C-alpha cells in the first residue's frame, strides 16, 4: 500500500516538473495538470482506505488479544484441584435434592392444606346459613337478612385463609432461602476470575444477578401480607355478590367456593414455581459451569509444552505481521 503512495508521489513530482518547465509545450502542460488532478484523487482515496483499514485492524488486534488472553488463562484453570470441583458438584447435588424435596412438599401438602381449610370454612358457613334448623335440609337460596350474615362470615374466613396462605408461603420460601444460603458463590466467583475476559463476560452464572433475583422473588415480591387477598379472593367475591341482588343462591355459592379453590391452587403453585424454578435453574447452571471447567482442565492437560510454545509463537507471529501493516498505514496517514 505504501508502495502505491510512492508511485503516486513520483508521478505528482513529474507533473509538477512539467508544469514548471518553460520549455514544455502548452499541450503537455495541460496533460500534466489533468494527470496531477487524477493522481491527487487516487492519493486521497488511498489515504481514506488506509484510515478505514486502520479502524478494521483494531478488530484484528482485539481477536489476537483474546487469543493471548485464552492462552494465559490455561495455566490458571489447570491450577485448580479437581477434588475441589468434584466436592462442589457433590454439594450442589445435595442442595438440588433438598430444593426438589421442599418443592414436592409444597405441591402435595402445603397447597392442599389451604384448599382443605378453605372448604372446611365454607362448609361451616353452609351449615350455619343454608341449613334449615327445623328440617335439616339445605335451602336453595338466602334472603336479605341471612345474606348479610353469610357475607360477614365469608369476609372473616377470607381473612383467615389469606393470613394462613401468606404465612405458609413465606415460611416455605424462607426454608428455600435457608437452603440457598449453602450455595458458595464466593468459590464460583474465584473460578470465574481465572477465565479469559470474553468467558467472564458471557458466563451464564452471574453472582450479582443471582442475589438480585433471589432478593426480588423471595423477599420483595412477598413483602405484603394482603397480596393474596387482593389478587385472588376479593375480585371473585365481588363478582359472586353482584350475581344476586336480594338473595344468594346455594348453587352459585358452591360455584364460588370451587372457583376460589382453583384460584388458590393456581396462584400458590405459580408463586412457588417461580421461586423453585429459579433455585433449580441456578443449581443446574452452577453444576454445568463446574463440568465445563473440568472439561477445559482435561483438554488443557492433554497439551504438551511444545504445543503451548507453538501456540504462543503463532500468536506472536500474527501480531508482528499486523504491526508491520500498521506501520505502513501510519506512514501513509502521517504524510497526509
pLDDT of residue 260: 85
pLDDT of residue 267: 86
Beta bridge partners of 161: none
Please state, in angstroms and as integers, the Cα–Cα distance from residue 69 to each residue in 66, 205, 321, following that order: 5, 20, 19
Listed residue (257, 266, 312) closest to 122, CA to CA:
257
Section 205-216 average pLDDT? 88
Are the C-beta atoms of 270 and 238 separated by less than 8 Å?
Answer: no
Are the C-beta atoms of 95 and 179 separated by less than 8 Å?
Answer: yes
Cell 393470613: give the residue.
163
* pLDDT top residue among 138 and 192: 192
pLDDT of residue 251: 83
Average predicted confidence (pLDDT) for the chain: 84
pLDDT tens digits, 276-307: 999 999 999 999 999 999 999 999 999 999 99
C-alpha cell at 256: 364460588
CA end-to-end span of the chain, whole Å?
14
Q: Per-residue pLDDT for 232 more than 70?
A: no
pLDDT tens digits, 160-183: 888 888 889 999 999 999 999 999
pLDDT of residue 171: 93
Cell 438440588: give the residue.
96
Beta bridge partners of 159: none
R_g of the chain computed on alpha carbons = 39
Are the C-beta atoms of 176 and 276 separated by less than 8 Å?
Answer: yes
C-alpha cell at 312: 504462543
Least confident of 116-120, 131-135, 228-232, 313-317: 228-232
Using 50, 70 and 90 to split pLDDT, how confident is the model at 4?
low
Listed residue (93, 73, 130, 113) closest to 297, CA to CA:
73
Give pTM, 2 decimals. 0.79
C-alpha cell at 216: 426480588
Are the C-beta atoms of 293 and 147 separated by less than 8 Å?
Answer: no
Q: Which residues, 6 or more positions from 261, have their beta carbon under 8 angstroms from its beta carbon?
A: 115, 118, 119
Beta bridge partners of 248: 142
pLDDT tens digits, 5-47: 666 566 666 666 656 667 666 656 666 666 667 767 777 777 8
β-bridge pairing 141-142 and 248-249:
antiparallel
Section 311-333 average pLDDT? 88
pLDDT tens digits, 83-127: 999 999 999 999 999 999 999 999 999 999 999 999 999 999 888
Are the C-beta atoms of 265 and 112 separated by less than 8 Å?
Answer: no
Amino acid at each position: 500500500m505504501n508502495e502505491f503512495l510512492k508511485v503516486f508521489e513520483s508521478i505528482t513530482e513529474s507533473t509538477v516538473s512539467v508544469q514548471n518547465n518553460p520549455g514544455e509545450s502548452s499541450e503537455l502542460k495541460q496533460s500534466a495538470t489533468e494527470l496531477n488532478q487524477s493522481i491527487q484523487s487516487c492519493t486521497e482515496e488511498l489515504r481514506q482506505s488506509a484510515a478505514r483499514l486502520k479502524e478494521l485492524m483494531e478488530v484484528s488486534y482485539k481477536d489476537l488479544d483474546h487469543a493471548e488472553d485464552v492462552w494465559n488463562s490455561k495455566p490458571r484453570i489447570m491450577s485448580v484441584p479437581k477434588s475441589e470441583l468434584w466436592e462442589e458438584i457433590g454439594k450442589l447435588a445435595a442442595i438440588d435434592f433438598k430444593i426438589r424435596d421442599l418443592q414436592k412438599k409444597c405441591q402435595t401438602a402445603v397447597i392442599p392444606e389451604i384448599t382443605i381449610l378453605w372448604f372446611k370454612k365454607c362448609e361451616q358457613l353452609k351449615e350455619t346459613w343454608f341449613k334449615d334448623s327445623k328440617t335439616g335440609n339445605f335451602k336453595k337460596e338466602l334472603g336479605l337478612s341471612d345474606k348479610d350474615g353469610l357475607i360477614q362470615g365469608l369476609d372473616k374466613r377470607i381473612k383467615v385463609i389469606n393470613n394462613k396462605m401468606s404465612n405458609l408461603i413465606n415460611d416455605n420460601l424462607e426454608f428455600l432461602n435457608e437452603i440457598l444460603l449453602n450455595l458458595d458463590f464466593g468459590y464460583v466467583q474465584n473460578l470465574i476470575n481465572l477465565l479469559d475476559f470474553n468467558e467472564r463476560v458471557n458466563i451464564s452464572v452471574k453472582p450479582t444477578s443471582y442475589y438480585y433475583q433471589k432478593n426480588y422473588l423471595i423477599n420483595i415480591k412477598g413483602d405484603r401480607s394482603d397480596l393474596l387477598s387482593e389478587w385472588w379472593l376479593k375480585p371473585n367475591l365481588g363478582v359472586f355478590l353482584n350475581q344476586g341482588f336480594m338473595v344468594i343462591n346455594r348453587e352459585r355459592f358452591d360455584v364460588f367456593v370451587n372457583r376460589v379453590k382453583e384460584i388458590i391452587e393456581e396462584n400458590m403453585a405459580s408463586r412457588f414455581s417461580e421461586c423453585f424454578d429459579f433455585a433449580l435453574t441456578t443449581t443446574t447452571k452452577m453444576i454445568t459451569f463446574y463440568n465445563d471447567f473440568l472439561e477445559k482442565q482435561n483438554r488443557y492437560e492433554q497439551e504438551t509444552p511444545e504445543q503451548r510454545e507453538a501456540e504462543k509463537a503463532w500468536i506472536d507471529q500474527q501480531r508482528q505481521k499486523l504491526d508491520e501493516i500498521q506501520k505502513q498505514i501510519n506512514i501513509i496517514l502521517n504524510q497526509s
